Homo-oligomer: A and B are copies of this chain.
């Protein structure tokens, strides 16, 4: 899983039927560098499985494993948010959230 920040949402009216009812969030992956969070990699559209909100740090799962939640089962989904991150500790210190 990777860490990301929820930066927005995506509205798509014409879409595959299995997406009906999905909350589609727009997330920006973050890595840590010198014990700070820094954005890294492409922004992603992910299905929200844990009822998170904009600005929160989350962790998300990609690939076939993204279909292993109840809501995404058998859907053409390759990214799902699986947890809201309370804290990331590196060398015993909590990394400040961006």
Interface size counted on chain A using CB atoms at 8 A: 61
Instruction: Verify B69–A80 contact, CB threshold 8 A.
Output: no
Question: How many copies of this chain?
Answer: 5
- Is chain A's binding surface mostly helix, strand, loop or mixed? mixed
Contact code string A10-45 (vs B, CB < 8 Å = 1, else 0): 111111101100001010010110000000111111
* CB of A55 to closest CB in B, whole Å: 9
CB distance from A1 to the nearest CB of B (A): 4
- B61:A64 contact, CB within 8 angstroms: no
Additional A-B contact list (16), CB under 8 Å, known A10-B85, A11-B87, A13-B84: A1-B46, A2-B42, A3-B10, A7-B90, A8-B90, A10-B88, A15-B82, A16-B50, A16-B69, A19-B83, A61-B76, A63-B64, A63-B65, A66-B78, A68-B74, A68-B76
